[in-house]
Structure 1
Amino acid sequence: MLRVRGRVLRWGLEFTIRRAPQSVSSWLGWGPRARGHPCSSSSQNPSGSEPPEKVHRIPAQYKPSQFDKKILLWTGRFKSIDEIPPLVPPEMIDVARNKARVKTCYIMIGLTIIACFAVIVSAKRAVERHESLTSWNLAKKAKWREEAALAAQAKAK
């Protein structure tokens, strides 16, 4: 009888064998040492005779828009629009956008703090004038009652 040491866990449709003997995992065809498993190294070749494929990558180029050029200038990557080449790597655009996003967040945080202090100052001034939302609402409702009474008198005539 064949025994498997360890646990067999099921995550969705995938199975993982932990601490299983090599013979069991290779016999079942779905263990970590099985052929074509995502965890297996791509440099390992079962036949051993074929060399691994060479991948030649040409860096992709991206034509920046006017907005991208402004972002590149604002983040300090280039000094002027004339210095920006017609094609730039997409990684450069991504880095510039991320820096611009962080700078924008910092500016928004600063403006929020300034707005908080402005509200505090205006609220303190309103308290000195004895103004409050309750008094404003009561005055507004009294005005509406007067207008409704005048409209009712005008209809009665």
Structure 2
Amino acid sequence: MTLDRFVKKRVWALALVCLQWSAGASAEQTADEGPALASAVTCAGDDRYERGLERLDQITQGQGRAVVNSLSDISPDLGRYIIEYPYGDVFCRSGLTDQQRQLATIAALAALGYTAPELRVHIHGALNVGLTEEEVVETMILMSVYAGFPASLHGLRAAREVFEARAQD
């Protein structure tokens, strides 16, 4: 089995575990119960770009837009795709809460092990939609089982950076 195939299998397995783990507490959330936004309520409109930009801002509170803007000189098309597909389509589906999506996202990014900038953005997003620092840390501990200790340690370093940055704000 190639390393790429091995990593992909592990990422899928850990995403499923994280979703199952978080489903009990988060599945009951609605838009008026706090920061976990209900996707169906916040994803009105037919324009994928506008809908995606709104979701991106709701979840990342400006950090995601900075990533997209950083692509404007080299690949504005990729920036548009990031807004339209993940945020305009996938993050607007009603099957998961924003907390569940962010939990699965940070788990997958941590498992990959080479995505520190993206992981930091999504840890911010996880905290923005109502996950706690403890839940983020527990997710990184879980990654030691499914993705190995190096991935877990890298994830914890990214989490520490985010927690410290948010404490300074």
- Per the TM superposition, whether the score is higher than 0.5 is no
User: Which is richer in helix?
Assistant: 2
User: Which is richer in strand?
Assistant: 1
Which gives a bigger RCO, structure 1 or 2 (Cα 8 Å, sep 6+)? 2
TM-score by length of 1: 0.19
- Larger Rg computed on CA atoms: 1
